[in-house]
Amino acid sequence: MTIGFIGAGTMGMPIALHLLRAGYSVDVIIRNDDGADVVAAGGRVFTSPSDLDRPVFLFLCLPNAETVEQVLFGPHAVQLAAGAVVIDLTTHDRASAKRIAERLAESSVDFIDAPISGMQQRAQQGTLTVMCGGGPDKFRQVKPLFDCFATSVLWMGDVGSGQTAKLINQLLFDVNMAALAELLPAAVRLGLDPVLVAEVVNGGTGRSYASEFFLPRILQGQFSNGYPLAKAYKDLKAGAALSADLALPMPVLAAATATYQTALAQGHGDLDKGSMILPFEGLSGVVFRARHRLFCTLALRGVVEEIWDDASGPGEIIFEPTVLLLQRIAAGDLPTLALLTDEAAQGLELDGKILSRHPLVLSRIGIAATQDNPPPAFATTDDLVRYLREVPSLCYSKSGASGIHFSAVLERLGIAAEIDAKAVVIPQGLTGRMVAEGKAACAIQQISELAQIQGLSAASPLPEETQRTEIFSAALHANSPTTDALLARLLHADTRPLLAAHGLMPIERNTAV
């Protein structure tokens, strides 16, 4: 008996592996190079549905009904013999399930709609819930297969009943998350501690699977651990259709759908359902987090470390180049406050990802070396070129704003190949460390970054025609006492000598940027 499996993705792959480990012969369709686990478990890998050799049972775990129909009836459809059973784990809708079943019946192929409930971890553990629709005899025939990867396998009725049960379950999940998104920021606005609120909710009558799964992640600012909003939106659309078909008002579901749509409209479609809280955090001006998190670009690290008291500051400070901080934010790892280039902050502001933007300081690019062999003052570009050609080695980083600019300067001056041949190019971090460790004769970076390394000479700014003055800004995701305190300190006149000592120039409040 051969089992075919199409859709070995986040959920499908663990299911296919459970079937293999139970001793079944499984042929899996995989269109990339991720079939090593299947082969190691004793399965066979193919690239097209038409490659499958008339499996007795065919599992489908696909994105939507359209993809299911393409696999079953399209130009490269799988070939099925009379008496075969298609087991569709895909989540779609009752009408699609009935339509697919009727078309398969024309070829004497049986169909069971069997959407699954449970996320990737439960798929890996083999503890999913399966809701089945189809003939009771066929259900009894295939139940041993379900038992390989599920601990709750329920026959709900005729074809389409599994999809209906899954939809009701998903809509309740969405409603619960929408309620959490609306109420949790209000609790913080009223002065309650987010950690204690989460403990009350998950230990009391407000508990739900949505609260148990998402609250720990929201508290840590993690919004990329579940199914993306944009892909899950199909459930809300199906719910609206259900309400219309039955002529039944569903006001709570409609309100939850509006919350969902607001999160999508604000650009959170790639994040999970926990991100529904983000619009309400923006409206309330608070965040539901266990601790404040600060993202800080390397150019401001020295200043931040000197003025920020860890005892009263955020539980976590991440120092990285702006480009890497933006990657974190894009992946759903959100800080309370980010200090980065103004260009990046403006992008976050335009995307609606921050509450406000505050230009802080100006920074220039320079070159530093050892104290006993400092670089000269660069009055002209010729001075710079002469020095770069004479110096035995140098270090810069192409991940930060200064390194990207310096690389472009070398190209413009026509000396990139010559200089890069003796350059130590690091992926990220402080270039001055290479000088301190004797691995380079000089380092190029923001002057404020060079000032963070002890034992280096004072930095010589690049000449004006090759210089880039960078504005660094604070991107505020939400107001809080700790972030407000840091922002106020950075903007305070008493901090100016410290900024100057780190090669930074404060922006006057009436300065246009």
pLDDT tens track for 362-409: 999 999 999 999 999 999 999 999 999 999 999 999 888 899 999 999
Q: Is the pLDDT of residue 310 over 50?
A: no
Q: Is the pLDDT of residue 481 over 80?
A: no
With H, G, I as helix, E, B as strand and everything else as coil, classify residue 316. Answer: strand
Measured distance CA(511)–CA(513) in Å, rounded: 6
The H or E element containing residue 58 is: strand 57-60
Catalytic positions, written as ranges: 166
With H, G, I as helix, E, B as strand and everything else as coil, classify residue 369. Answer: strand
CB 185 within 8 A of CB 210: no
Strand ranges across the sheet with 337-341? 316-319, 293-296, 337-341, 470-476, 356-363, 504-506
Mean pLDDT of the region 229-244: 91
- pLDDT above 70: percentage of residues in the chain: 96
CB 377 within 8 A of CB 462: no
State the pLDDT at residue 314: 46
Strand partners, 394: 423, 442
Q: Is the pLDDT of residue 83 over 50?
A: yes
Alpha carbon separation from 106 to 111, 133, 399 (Å, rounded): 11, 19, 59
Which candidate, 133, 142, 132, places its Cα nearest to that of 83?
A: 142
Q: Is the pLDDT of residue 266 over 90?
A: yes
Structure tokens at 484: 């407000």
Mean pLDDT of the region 346-361: 88
Measured distance CA(60)–CA(116) in Å, rounded: 11
Q: Is the pLDDT of residue 511 over 60?
A: no
At 314-327, the pLDDT tens digits run: 467 899 989 899 99
CB 321 within 8 A of CB 298: yes
Confirm or reject CATH 3.40.50.300 for domain 2-158, answering yes or no.
no
The H or E element containing residue 234 is: helix 229-246
At 179-216, the pLDDT tens digits run: 999 999 999 999 898 988 999 999 999 999 999 999 98
CB 289 within 8 A of CB 314: no
Measured distance CA(277)–CA(268) in Å, rounded: 10
DSSP count for the chain of H helices, then E strands = 22, 20
Q: Which amino acid is at 123?
A: A
Mean pLDDT of the region 143-151: 97
Q: Is the pLDDT of residue 34 over 80?
A: no
Confirm or reject CATH 3.40.50.2300 for domain 292-512, answering yes or no.
no
Domains 166-284 and 292-512 share a fold: no
Topology classification of domain 166-284 = N-(1-d-carboxylethyl)-l-norvaline Dehydrogenase; domain 2 (1.10.1040)
Q: Is the pLDDT of residue 461 over 80?
A: yes
Residues 6 or more apart whose CB falls under 8 angstroms from that of 469 comprise 362, 363, 364
Strand partners, 443: 368, 395
Measured distance CA(207)–CA(197) in Å, rounded: 11
Structure tokens at 482: 């700790």
CB 165 within 8 A of CB 153: no
Mean pLDDT of the region 450-470: 94
Helices 161-189 and 277-284: crossing angle, nearest 10°? 20
Instruction: Report residue 344's pLDDT band, with 50, 70 and 90 as the boundaries.
Output: very high
Sign of the four-CA dihedral 475, 477, 481, 482: negative
Instruction: Report residue 510's pLDDT band, with 50, 70 and 90 as the boundaries.
Output: very low
Q: Is the pLDDT of residue 478 over 80?
A: no
Mean pLDDT of the region 217-231: 85
Q: What does the mean pLDDT of the chain come to?
A: 91
Measured distance CA(330)–CA(212) in Å, rounded: 24
The H or E element containing residue 112 is: strand 110-113
Measured distance CA(501)–CA(377) in Å, rounded: 18
State the pLDDT at residue 132: 98
Q: CA angle, 191 as apex, 189 and 197 as ends, to 5°?
A: 95
Give residue limits of the domains in the chain.
Answer: 2-158, 166-284, 292-512
Instruction: Report residue 334's pLDDT band, with 50, 70 and 90 as the boundaries.
Output: confident
State the pLDDT at residue 230: 92
What pTM was estimated for this model as a whole?
0.62
Q: Is the pLDDT of residue 311 over 70?
A: no
With H, G, I as helix, E, B as strand and everything else as coil, classify residue 450. Answer: helix
CB 477 within 8 A of CB 329: no
